[in-house]
Structure 1
Amino acid sequence: MMPVLSVLLAAALVAALPCSEPAPDPSNTYDAPHTYDKLVRDYPAIQIAGDTLPAGVRKTADLTYAQYGARCLKLDLYRPAGDRLPVVVFVHGGGWKAGFRSEFVPMALRLTQHGYAAVTVSYRLSGEARYPAAVQDVQAAVRWLRAHAAEFGLDPNRIALAGGSAGGQIASLAGVTAGDAVKAIINIDGLSDFTSELALRYEDDPKKNPSSAGAWFGGRYAETAALWREASPIRYVHAGMPPILFIGSAQPRFSAGREEMMAQMAAVGVASDKVVLPDTPHSFWLFDPWLQPTVDASVAFLHRHLP
């Protein structure tokens, strides 16, 4: 009995410690303004999607969902009126090494207009903790939301994961390995198979030392192949897994493994959908006019699978 009490006491003491998020890293430039500067020449009609809080939507910011010593992992919660709301948890992109949870605020707010609570989460980036820390963090956020569902008027049995780019891959992997905790997944331009020829051409590019994926795994494919396989959502297709909506750009490299995963899902009787937005760059979900069709496809999917 004493060891159990000691563990519980230690956990309580850690939870009582003050904690904070790290200071902003000036080298972390994966956000809407920097991406806009890169894209506007080729797509002059784009506009950064708005993030003004709609009337009737409540924001609860900076909720700590996990703590490692003095390090906090936080999320922001957006809620329309109602109780036992279905929840969509958004995982930002940034090549596993960059990005901010604010990336998905515009999409989160648009989903609240359809009756969903929306959550944007931060997670440990590769410079702080390598794979599988980010996946574990997202699953910890889901557990925290389930545990605090009554407090915030959420339905603990209707939680979906969504993410873009690296966040799409993380959301997919966290969702397909989360048991019954996640009911649906939206993968926006995220990889499904790190080991496919298409993915390796870019993610294991010998000119990059390390590549973004290599930094996350702690080695090139030849050095850490088991991790590259283990982190591929396609490896976990099974009957009863959550359905997945794949929303893709016109850039093929980010759909690596998608068609094969959809075929495997169909073979075990699991639903999947695919929407590809023509003539779009990667990171299209940060901008109008592309955000609205992304939201429309997501809402239609969620109405079917997270009713």
Structure 2
Amino acid sequence: MTAIHIRGLVKRFGGFTAVDGIDADVPRGEFFGILGPNGAGKSSTMRMLGCVSPPTDGVLRVLDMDPVRDGHRIRARLGVCPQADGLDAELTVGENLTTYARYFGMSRRAARERTAELLEFMQLADRAGSTIQTLSGGMKRRLVIARALVNEPDVVLLDEPTTGLDPQARHVVWERLFRLKQRGVTVVMTTHYMDEAEQLCDRLVVMDAGRIVGEGAPAALIKEHASQEVVELRFSGASQEECAQALPGIGERVEVLPDRILLYCANGEKAVADVHDRGLTPTGVLVRRGALEDVFLRLTGRQLID
């Protein structure tokens, strides 16, 4: 019942190692996420899963087949939503789907029926005759996802499906993806949005420098690498570093940033009371729950990577 099996997977480009010996298994019907900063190896991994880039080393099986030897058979059962839309501006919304459906050997009638079904599913039925230029960014992304579902795939690969969308459009896409999850479709998604991963993914891996540095369900990762609650403290006058010297022993961990101090703890209100008991008066206090973003930053660091 494993849709994807990975052991010691490596991808090199000359002397550069983009993916450095990763292991993972994705059961059928799971919504699986791949997180990581730019250059972590996410896109290289997705291209190998999509059978468009052969592995340099290791074992990769997709639907119990070898992508190198059985690439054409695997691609027939994959749905792929790339970062770039790649929609045909010369065709209408509906024609973009019916034409793509014909590549999979569907009859014209079956292609039209599948197109109507998918446009309804992605809330685009009223735009079937529209040109691509008239669509908003959110509509285009929903159309690309619909295109990825034309062949009723066993595995869907989504590469940053909501990048660049406004909050309303993102939530519409989330709702559609959640319905896919309810239908039992196996989905592998890369994203830079931690809330998106936390909402949709049954399980995920965090990649950094080509390796997997964390793996598990979102809640389990938060429990392991962050804390139940996080207190954000801001102090004026004295530097954050000076104030932090009075905080050891409060909570599980203290992190000092240029503009604030983070206290990772089980009880935020108690931690704030302990801070005041030590004679400190912060100018700003925020108590929030631990989040996947805290895990991401702890595992991959806060340094910007271009």
TM-score, length basis structure 2: 0.26
TM-score, length basis structure 1: 0.26
- Say which one has the larger Rg: 2
Structure with more of its chain in strand, by fraction: 2
- Quick one: higher RCO (CA 8 Å, sep 6+), 1 or 2? 2
